Chains A and B, each alone.
Chain A
C-alpha cells in the first residue's frame, strides 16, 4: 500500500497518518544503496512532488519538488543558460533531486563545485510526526538558524522526508575541453593528479577511468582552448586534447563505470586524502578483490566493485577507515547481506540523540543507517 502524495499537505498527512515504518522513495535508482531496509515499510514516494516551484534566473536560485528528476531540471535550467553544478552518473537513470540529496551523490564536478550539500540553500522537510519545517531560504548567503539541510544530506531518508529543495545555480559554461593523459597504474594517481592541480588551469573535474586521466576544463571558448593547450604542454607524456565526440564518449564511459550495477558484486564508494588514494587502490585491487576502479585523484574519491560478501566489503571499510577515510556501500546484488557503512564514528552518539528527537520510533528509513543508527529492538526483519 505504497502512496504517492501530490502536494506537501498530502505528504504531511501520509507521513503523519500512515501506521508503522515508512520509507521515502523516489525514482528507485539507489534503493539498494546504503543500509538495507529492515522489516516492512510503507513506501512514500516523492515522485508526485515534481517540477520547478520558483526559478529566479537573476538570483541564480531555483526551488523544486524533491521528486523532480535532475535531468528534467537541467533541461529547464538550460533554457536560461544555467545549471545545477552536479553531474552524478545515475541522473541518467532518472534520479530525483531528493534522492541524489538523500544519498549524498555527486559526480566529477564535485571537484569544482562540491556536492549537493554545497549547493542546497534551503529545504522543506516532513518529520515522522507530520511536523513540516523549513530551514535556509531562497538566498545564497544566509546564516539565520540551523542548517537542517546538512543533517538531511546523506541521511538516506532518515530524520525526515524532504519535500522541497532550494538550490543555488551556476552558469552553464559556454565551452569545454577535455584533456586526456594515459595512466595505466592506479598507484600513480596522486602524482598525476597533482601534476594537473599544480598548474593554474583550474580543472572543473579530474577523473581516472579506463587507463586515462580526464581533465575537464570549463569556460569561454577562447579560454578553454588556451588552457587546454597549456595543460597539454605542461603534462607532456602523451597528453592530448580530445575531439568533442571523443570527449563526450569518454565522460559517458566514466558515468557507465561509476553507475555500473554488476549482478554478483557490490559497489563501494570510498574517499581518502588524495596522497593515500594510490596505495589504497593498489592494495584493494591486489589483495581484496577490488576491480572496476574509477577515481578522482584531486578529491581522493573512488568507486570500485568487490565480491558481494560481507568479508570483502568489510575489508574495504576497514582499510579505508584505517587511512582516516570514509566508505559507503553504493549497490549490491539483491539479497546480498553486506555492511553498508564503515566503523561507527564517535559522532554516532550525537546522531542517535538527534534522531531520537526527530523520529523517536525510527519510523523513517529503518535500517538505512544501521549500525550507526541501530534498528530498535524487536523491529528486526
Chain B
C-alpha cells in the first residue's frame, strides 16, 4: 500500500486545491471544508476509530460522483465513499488528508417495476424505504439488517448486508442484479444485468461486499419478492443454552428452513426487557425467536412441528406471537437488545463472528470461560440459524477495563475462525478487523484478493486501509466503543 502512504502524506497541502476544484463542480453547500462540518464525518458506527478528512463532497448524481473521483484520481488523493455511516467495522472511516464522497444526496427511488419485481435505486435510499415503496404492490425487499430504518442500500451493497431473515432469503448479494459503478479513475461502468440470467464472470458478485474498495456504486437494481402469505412467530424459553441449540439442530434435521431463528441468553434478555418490555422471561437462561413464513397451509403445518420440537427439548414456555403487533413487540426486544446492554453495563464492545451452527454450544461455553478468566461478562444475542454470533463484551472504561475487553473481543472473533467459522458474518472487516485477516486467510489468499483490487484500482485510491492488514492500521489501538446516537435512541441496533 505504498501508493496510499505516499498519496496521503503529500495531500495535506492539496486540500485548498481540491476544495477549489470541487467547488467548480458542485454547488457551494455540497463541498465541506470547515472543521465542524468535517468532524461529523470522522467516523461511522464504529465510533472508536476516528479520522477527520480533508474535504467532504456531496455530489448529486452519477456524473458528479465521477467528476469528484476524477479530481481525486488526478491528484492521487485517496477517497472514501459514505452512505448513512451506520457501518460497524469502520468501513467508512476517512483517510487522513483524503476525501469523503457522501452519497446522501443520491437518494431517489428511480423505479419500482412491479411486473418484473425490480427496484432501481440510488445508493442513498434507506433499506426500509425500498420495502415501503414496494408494499402497496404486495412486494418487499428481503435483506433486513437491523439498522434498516437508517442504513442505505449503497452501504448494504458495500457490506453485503444480511439481517435476521437471511437464513432463508440470503444476503444482499443474492438480491442485487445490476449496479452502476464509478471506478477509481472516474470512469463509469455497469456490472451485472437487470436479469436473472447473467453472462460471463460475475463482476457484480465480486463487487458486492467489497467494502467500498473497488469503486462507488451509484445506481443499483434489486429484486423484490412477493410478501409471503403467512408469517408465524414463536418465542420459546429454554432451561439452557445447550437445549436451545439442540432445538435449532432438531429443526434443521426436520428439514424445516425457518425465515429466522434468533437466540438470546439471560443477560441479553435482561437488558432488552429493561429497555423495551418485549415480554421476555428474564430469569430464563436462553430463548429462541423462531419465525416461519410461506404459503399458509405449509406454514401452519411446520409451525406445529416446531412447537412440538421445542416442547420435546424442554422448552419452559412457548409464547406464540399471534398478531402483527405482538410479532413486532417480540422483534423490537430482539433488535433493541444491543443498545439495551448499555442499561446493564457502562461500556460494551460489539463482536460479530460466525461458527458452523453445530458448534454454537461449544463456542458459547468457551466464550463464557474466557470471560470468567478475565473477570468480564459477555452477553449473547445471535442469529442461531446460521451460527452468526454477536457477543457483547461488558466492561467499565472508568475501571480501566478497556484494554482487557478489547483483547477478549478480538480473541472471540479469532476463536470463531479456529472453530471453522469466519471473522465476520455481516458487519464487515473494514478498519476494525483488517489486522485479524491473517488468522483466516493465508498470505497467498490475501495477495490474490489484492490482485482483484489492483485490477479495479491500480493506484489504491479507493477506500485504502480497509480489509487488508497494513502496518499503519495494525499499529493503532481503537478507542472505547461508543454507541451510535440513533442506537442510543433505540432507532437502530447492531444485530
Chain A positions within 8 Å of B, measured between CB atoms, are: 56, 58-61, 81, 104, 110, 114, 117-118, 125, 127, 131-135, 137-155, 158-159, 170-174, 190, 194, 197-198, 200-202, 219-220, 222-224, 226-227, 269-275, 299-301, 324-328, 341-342, 345-347, 349-351, 353-358, 369, 372
On whether the beta carbons of B298 and A154 are closer than 8 Å, the reply is: no
Task: Give the complex CA separation of A137 and B426 in angstroms.
Answer: 14
Residues of chain A within 8 A of B422, CB atoms compared: 137, 139, 141-144
Looking at the assembled complex, report how far the CB atom of A266 sits from the nearest CB atom of chain B, in whole angstroms: 15
Contact A144/B255 with A59-B387, A347-B203 known, Cβ cut-off 8 Å = no
Q: Give me 20 other A-B pairs in contact (C-beta within 8 A), A146-B209, A201-B295, A347-B190 excluded.
A: A104-B199, A131-B444, A134-B442, A138-B421, A139-B354, A141-B166, A143-B209, A145-B467, A146-B206, A147-B160, A147-B208, A148-B448, A149-B205, A151-B452, A194-B115, A220-B301, A223-B301, A226-B298, A271-B196, A274-B117
Task: Give the complex CA separation of A346 and B455 in angstroms.
Answer: 15
The residue that A347 contacts in the complex, of B191, B387, B388, with Cβ under 8 A, is B191
Task: Give the complex CA separation of A114 and B170 in angstroms.
Answer: 10
At the interface, yes or no: B474 with Cβ under 8 Å from chain A?
no
**Which of B74-82, B122-130, B355-363 participates in binding chain A?**
B355-363
Contact A138/B195 with A148-B206, A155-B201 known, Cβ cut-off 8 Å = no
On whether the beta carbons of B199 and A117 are closer than 8 Å, the reply is: no
Residues of chain B within 8 A of A150, CB atoms compared: 173, 201-206, 208
User: Nearest CB to that of B254 among chain A residues?
Assistant: A171
**Which of B9-17, B36-44, B181-189, B341-349 participates in binding chain A?**
B181-189
Give how many A-B residue pairs fall within 8 Å (CB-CB): 280
The residue that A154 contacts in the complex, of B160, B201, B427, B451, with Cβ under 8 A, is B201
Looking at the assembled complex, report how far the CB atom of A103 sits from the nearest CB atom of chain B, in whole angstroms: 11
Looking at the assembled complex, report how far the CB atom of A357 sits from the nearest CB atom of chain B, in whole angstroms: 4
On whether the beta carbons of B425 and A142 are closer than 8 Å, the reply is: yes
The residue that A151 contacts in the complex, of B203, B252, B255, B437, with Cβ under 8 A, is B203
On whether the beta carbons of A154 and B202 are closer than 8 Å, the reply is: yes
On whether the beta carbons of B197 and A153 are closer than 8 Å, the reply is: no
- B251-278 interface mask toward A, CB cutoff 8 Å, 1 = contact, 0 = none? 0110111000000000000000000000
On whether the beta carbons of A153 and B440 are closer than 8 Å, the reply is: no
Task: Give the complex CA separation of A143 and B432 in angstroms.
Answer: 13
The residue that A148 contacts in the complex, of B166, B170, B452, with Cβ under 8 A, is B452
Task: Give the complex CA separation of A200 and B297 in angstroms.
Answer: 11
Residues of chain A within 8 A of B294, CB atoms compared: 202
The residue that B189 contacts in the complex, of A118, A140, A347, A358, with Cβ under 8 A, is A347
Task: Give the complex CA separation of A133 and B452 in angstroms.
Answer: 12
On whether the beta carbons of A61 and B356 are closer than 8 Å, the reply is: yes
9 A-B residue pairings within 8 Å (CB atoms):
A56-B358, A81-B255, A131-B444, A133-B445, A202-B228, A223-B298, A271-B196, A300-B195, A347-B189
At the interface, yes or no: B59 with Cβ under 8 Å from chain A?
no
Residues of chain B within 8 A of A198, CB atoms compared: 226
Contact A143/B445 with A58-B357, A354-B455 known, Cβ cut-off 8 Å = no
Residues of chain B within 8 A of A269, CB atoms compared: 197
At the interface, yes or no: B454 with Cβ under 8 Å from chain A?
yes
Residues of chain A within 8 A of B174, CB atoms compared: 114, 118
Looking at the assembled complex, report how far the CB atom of B213 sits from the nearest CB atom of chain A, in whole angstroms: 8
The residue that A147 contacts in the complex, of B162, B205, B255, with Cβ under 8 A, is B205
On whether the beta carbons of A58 and B249 are closer than 8 Å, the reply is: yes
On whether the beta carbons of A346 and B189 are closer than 8 Å, the reply is: yes
Looking at the assembled complex, report how far the CB atom of B211 sits from the nearest CB atom of chain A, in whole angstroms: 8
On whether the beta carbons of B170 and A143 are closer than 8 Å, the reply is: no
Looking at the assembled complex, report how far the CB atom of A248 sits from the nearest CB atom of chain B, in whole angstroms: 21
The residue that B297 contacts in the complex, of A172, A222, A369, with Cβ under 8 A, is A222
Task: Give the complex CA separation of A31 and B189 in angstroms.
Answer: 30
On whether the beta carbons of A141 and B455 are closer than 8 Å, the reply is: no
Contact A141/B383 with A273-B116, A356-B455, A369-B200 known, Cβ cut-off 8 Å = yes
On whether the beta carbons of A275 and B298 are closer than 8 Å, the reply is: no
Residues of chain A within 8 A of B115, CB atoms compared: 190, 194, 274-275
Residues of chain B within 8 A of A149, CB atoms compared: 205
At the interface, yes or no: B27 with Cβ under 8 Å from chain A?
no
Task: Give the complex CA separation of A272 and B171 in angstroms.
Answer: 23
Contact A357/B249 with A137-B440, A143-B428 known, Cβ cut-off 8 Å = no
On whether the beta carbons of B206 and A349 are closer than 8 Å, the reply is: no
